[in-house]
Structure 1
């Protein structure tokens, strides 16, 4: 009997289990028995972030037809492709996808019954889908493979590199394993020095402060009705918090015939003052499909291009060396859709435009002249600088002028993202997604400078991608407009600064968008998700291994710069943990997958037909695990009697 322990039963652990089931017939010797222990205090499938028990106000930021947990014909993997339904397909016809089990909650069952492919489902709906994906993966495990689910946390991991691994659970139970995988998902971290100092200020003055946190778990009741509250951050965490502070406190939205929203306050809302570096919300997701044929991606930033980059002498920088090609790829997706779906707004045939587009670099003036000649309307041209810095250089005479400007900006964005006439934006989005298929290889080669990884990859690029591609559904922006018109939300501007006034115990917000203007508040929320820090991780296993010197934070060093990413260092080939006690070599019995690792593939589920990096990682890890398990000696596993005595269950759907 071989034994595998997977710590973390959310989408990443579930995706790994699906790949284990898909590859087991090929890689496990005939008759070889394997027992898998799945450890997580939260329900398997959804895990912590996507558990069913959370507010129904919290939504996904992808349409239901754009969410899948399954490989397809686009997946560049070594293992077998096992297609499966998207969230939308599963919700529309659940009985046809075994193993079928009716959703117990009536409200959730009703939502799934009316879910359209282009709807933005609640996170509870995604939880139901992930529960089914988990049960399907278990059902597809071949007969010699069994599974036990442990609804508790892991505390520690120990064992020699050449021998059995011991996983200690909160109950005191110990699991012996041949292989262990850490699929821990998104993790919290203890506040850093800056946030700890702000928390100390809040305690001294009896004020409310929330450091970066998961919105669904935040304790918000201490913020009083009518209290002045600063929200620092304008992304998805902000969107969730606004929903919880408004509809979550009894307010409601109504809609006019033209689709605009009106907000009816309950009187229990705080006053929400919001600002950020850009000073505007993330661009909303489009709620239409391509109007023309899909662009043949990649064209300018594919495997051959990355190979050429890696063959260049000397260190590489993302903005200098890769971004011009990445930008051109995004432009290709954008203009391909514009020319094919809306040719009346162009002056050249597509073939003629493309021939010249191929010839010029992204920053060459000849390319700008080509676009100006072929695309007469400025609104139809792709301008990254304008998109990335919409308030740059703008100064407003008074707060009301800023409110009016932001309302116009948000209304225009919501209208554009709902209008198929601007479907070129979706073409750009799809090209943007394609870049993630190539970036892991560029990073894994170790050629990017430390400064570039810190400031350009983990800094600018991640923020720019999220701003353009990871925004909320369009209706959230229309709700934001209504909240602004009702006076519940007030905009602060770009390059937000928040200081602390010890004299009167208030937080003070200011922005160069409003010179000389200050907003005082008695509550402050850092409205963004926590970034993982291995040194401050809340996960007990990672903390224990770090203290024992058995894992390492990713540290990239150049002669003039050192970057500590906070991420766990793994082998990019298969996710093996690099162990300092083994001289930095991959640990033969320990793997880690997910956003807490330096693989940097955050989404555990993906848009169909995008060759998702996470699926490629899961497949490579599953095959490495199965090969190792086939070659290793047994570490021991619980007998049936031991499982019954411990109150455990072997999972079968």
Structure 2
């Protein structure tokens, strides 16, 4: 084989790149034989933590997962071709309680350690080079040959045999409504903050004591709430009451649902797990993928989701609390398996076998708990929402209702199947996050305390915002006729880039050159290995992409142990595809083929930090 050094460029050096690098190290020793390999990581933020988990952010910001539920390492539940290489969870690495919610800077330390460990595990002859810069464009023939990665502020590109885009979540240019609201704010001296990562937002214009409209009730809102309360000197006493500093604005928060995301479940599983997948597994996924017309989510996929989540729920209820049911599990399961998931027969079966409505799984009520509710006063809404939070906290911390945890496991299983279907639209990801990726219980208790203190006030469901001469006006369907006007409006949600609004110049250039994009702006990739696809049906031979900016996005770059993580499966498949491509290139040049590609240097250039094995 040719001994010319090969070159791999990873654009984006956060946790997804770290996971991929770990899989490259795990798979590289055998059976992959090749000469030296230079791995270049391009990112303006630190390798390992990247932008989201960097240490340069407020220590008040937490993860929304327990420390024992965070790992970057494979275990024997992960279905991969490469070797399983166990490693510590966050709580084992940090020496903290498993049920603790670590701050993001601690997670950044874990990710940096994992990155350095992956570098250390690479075989001899592999050199890693960090470039603390932004990548602007990738050029090169789709069919093969040298790829060029152009960096900000550097005249010469990095030349590579292979490129992987591990870019993470993306910023977006404002849409038409956001542009209009921004223009309105400029004309009238108002404050408007468009969708952004809250840790990166300039909140200094939100004045103490002033009303602020907030649109969005997910994790971005929780960060905003923390930074504008504890971040401005407020604190909670030993009874959980909030003691204001006097520097807080008053937050009026609303959203489509009008309620916060469900609390993280606050107990551990015990006993028999539901045997998943049951109704939505690889067989059903392959059948959907084989259809000549892409499946419609609501018609073809959602019924399978409903059946799977319901199976997990009732399996746990019947096996752990049989006194709550009126039917033998075997009989129920047989009838459940035959029932149409969206038909009246399933509802009738559940009503006959599960007498108490609170013990039944009602996904519509879970998704939209305020639908149809009409209250005659704003104060009544505040009481109603505090009651909703109390009930959610009580149930999500009660192991007597651990059918909720069974549904959580089913959600993870379903997510792993859905990601193999490609673009199924954004609704599912929002639903999943609302049920399975909400804030820690302590954050919801803080939210309730802030409501009692008058710092946070709830607007209700189906909140709409309009521009008015003296500011912004919000109203909701929950309290008809009630409006709130403020001179500041914050969009507490992550940017949602489409192909024509994505801010990253590299992705913009790719889309302009014909890379395929989904309806919600995700880069299309081949599910098997992450190779980038084009609108003309071709696939790039040397360019790969992994992560939430692609239509094969997984549930996260790190995950719970023992959940057969889709992201880990992707990482392993892509790592092996990369190493196969490197080996094939070495064989071609070693047998008198192409030889060294013109312009590809023997050694890397423009490196700010190098680690050589």
In structure 2, the residue matched to 1:119 is 100
Counterpart selection for 1:507 from 472, 477, 480: 472
What is the number of equivalent residue pairs in this alignment?
597
Counterpart selection for 1:202 from 185, 195, 209: 185
In structure 2, the residue matched to 1:348 is 327
The CA deviation at 1:28 is: 2.7
- Once the two structures are superposed, what CA deviation does each residue of 1:35-83 show, in whole Å capped at 9, x if it has no partner? 1111111111110111111111111111111111122212222222222
Larger deviation: 327-336 or 406-415?
A: 327-336
Q: Distance in 2 between matches of 1:273 and 1:133?
A: 40
Q: Distance in 2 between matches of 1:59 and 1:205?
A: 36
Counterpart selection for 2:217 from 234, 241, 246: 234
In structure 2, the residue matched to 1:403 is 382
In structure 2, the residue matched to 1:565 is 520
Q: Distance in 1 between matches of 2:286 and 2:516?
A: 28
Counterpart selection for 1:551 from 480, 496, 515: 515
In structure 2, the residue matched to 1:648 is 608
Q: Secondary structure at the match of 1:534?
A: coil
In structure 2, the residue matched to 1:48 is 51
Q: Secondary structure at the match of 1:571?
A: coil
Counterpart selection for 2:505 from 514, 519, 540: 540
* C-alpha spacing 1:56/1:306, structure 2 compared with 1 (3 Å): same
In structure 1, the residue matched to 2:248 is 269
For the pair 1:212 / 2:191, whether they are aligned, the reply is no
Larger deviation: 366-375 or 196-205?
A: 366-375
Q: Secondary structure at the match of 2:8?
A: strand
Q: Distance in 2 between matches of 1:292 and 1:587?
A: 47
Counterpart selection for 2:150 from 164, 168, 171: 168
The CA deviation at 1:311 is: 5.9
The CA deviation at 1:585 is: 1.2
For the pair 1:574 / 2:529, whether they are aligned, the reply is yes
Counterpart selection for 2:76 from 73, 77, 94: 73
Retained in 2: the 8 A contact 1:234–1:280? yes
Counterpart selection for 1:592 from 528, 545, 551: 545
Retained in 1: the 8 A contact 2:91–2:98? yes
Retained in 2: the 8 A contact 1:229–1:523? yes
The CA deviation at 1:157 is: 2.1
Retained in 1: the 8 A contact 2:420–2:552? no
TM-score (structure 1 length as normaliser): 0.88
Matches of residues 591-630 of structure 1 in structure 2 within 5 Å? 591-630=544-583
Q: Secondary structure at the match of 2:241?
A: strand
* C-alpha spacing 1:4/1:310, structure 2 compared with 1 (3 Å): closer
* C-alpha spacing 1:652/1:268, structure 2 compared with 1 (3 Å): farther
In structure 2, the residue matched to 1:182 is 165
Counterpart selection for 2:344 from 360, 365, 368: 365
Matches of residues 166-565 of structure 1 in structure 2 within 5 Å? 166-172=148-154, 173-256=156-239, 261-310=240-289, 316-443=295-422, 457-502=424-469, 504=470, 506-547=471-512, 549=513, 551-554=515-518, 564-565=519-520
Larger deviation: 366-375 or 266-275?
A: 366-375
The CA deviation at 1:570 is: 2.0
Q: Distance in 2 between matches of 1:416 and 1:578?
A: 45
Q: Secondary structure at the match of 1:495?
A: coil
Q: Secondary structure at the match of 1:568?
A: coil
Q: Distance in 2 between matches of 1:10 and 1:422?
A: 37
Q: Secondary structure at the match of 1:410?
A: helix
Q: Distance in 2 between matches of 1:578 and 1:629?
A: 20
Counterpart selection for 1:150 from 131, 138, 142: 131
Q: Distance in 1 between matches of 2:326 and 2:448?
A: 36
* C-alpha spacing 1:44/1:319, structure 2 compared with 1 (3 Å): same
Retained in 1: the 8 A contact 2:555–2:566? no
Q: Distance in 2 between matches of 1:181 and 1:620?
A: 13
The CA deviation at 1:136 is: 1.1
Q: Secondary structure at the match of 1:134?
A: helix
Q: Secondary structure at the match of 2:374?
A: coil
Q: Secondary structure at the match of 1:197?
A: helix
The CA deviation at 1:385 is: 1.4
Unaligned runs of 5+ in 2: 590-595
Q: Secondary structure at the match of 1:188?
A: coil
Larger deviation: 631-640 or 177-186?
A: 631-640
The CA deviation at 1:647 is: 6.1
* C-alpha spacing 1:313/1:538, structure 2 compared with 1 (3 Å): closer
Q: Distance in 2 between matches of 1:552 and 1:367?
A: 40
Alignment RMSD, CA only? 2.0
In structure 2, the residue matched to 1:557 is none
Q: Secondary structure at the match of 1:437?
A: helix
Unaligned runs of 5+ in 1: 93-114, 444-452, 555-563
The CA deviation at 1:159 is: 2.5
Q: Distance in 1 between matches of 2:458 and 2:437?
A: 21
